[in-house]
Amino acid sequence: MSEDDELKRIIGKPTSRAKVVIERGPVANFATAVCDANPVYRDESAARRAGLDGIPVPPTFPFSMETWGKFVEIQPDDAPEGNPMAEVLGPLMAKGGIILHGEQEFEYHRPVHVGDVLIGEGRIVDAYSKESKGKTMTFVVTETTWRDSVTGEPAVTTRFNVIHRI
């Protein structure tokens, strides 16, 4: 199977299904890590004075939600098995080269606050290669839609581009 066929084969594959709890400590720590001193990320009363319904997450927080809010006992039984990203990146990395964090995008459908419980479903939405200055660059794009666990309504969608260059 050619590399292009292999890349086309993974488009649409699920990458994750996870349930996360948005907690105050991780939100405050994340704000500190990205050098955002705004008190709305740490203090409920400051958030309310700013007209918010509660402590919001910083704009790029969804990047780390699974790291700080994914508890084993609340995970869905129907999480995908295997790792489509490893299916592509493993053979690519075996050829050498480097893996790069490409673009990352966050599309908010509504504000995300401390106390929210979200269910994320990820999938590969694109995969392709192109030549640039004598190097082959392979792009794998994932998308995860995080939905409110009670209403099922989307809260935030993340898109992430991984690049392999050899």
pLDDT-based confidence at 1, cuts 50/70/90?
A: low
**Tell me: the pLDDT tens digits for 106-159?**
999 999 999 999 999 999 999 999 998 888 999 999 999 999 999 999 999 999
- Residues forming a β-bridge with 106: 158
Dig out the tokens for 5 from the structure: 């066929």
The beta strand positions in the chain, using DSSP E, are: 14-21, 98-108, 117-132, 135-148, 154-165
| pLDDT on residue 28 | 97
Please give the average per-residue pLDDT across 63-77, as a whole number: 89
CATH number assigned to the domain comprising residue 71:
3.10.129.10
Structural domain span for residue 79: 3-165
* Dihedrals phi, psi of 95, to nearest 5 degrees: -80, -10
Closest of 69, 75, 74 to residue 24, by C-alpha:
69
Q: Give the model confidence (pLDDT) of 73-118 as tens digits.
A: 998 888 777 777 787 788 888 989 899 999 999 999 999 999 999 9
Q: Which residues pair with 137 in a beta bridge?
A: 130, 165
Looking at the structure of the chain, the number of domains it has is 1
* Backbone torsions φ then ψ of 102, nearest 5 degrees: -90, -140
Selection from 129, 47, 117 nearest residue 88 by Cα: 129
| HEC string for 51-71 | CCCCCECCCCHHHHHHHHHCC
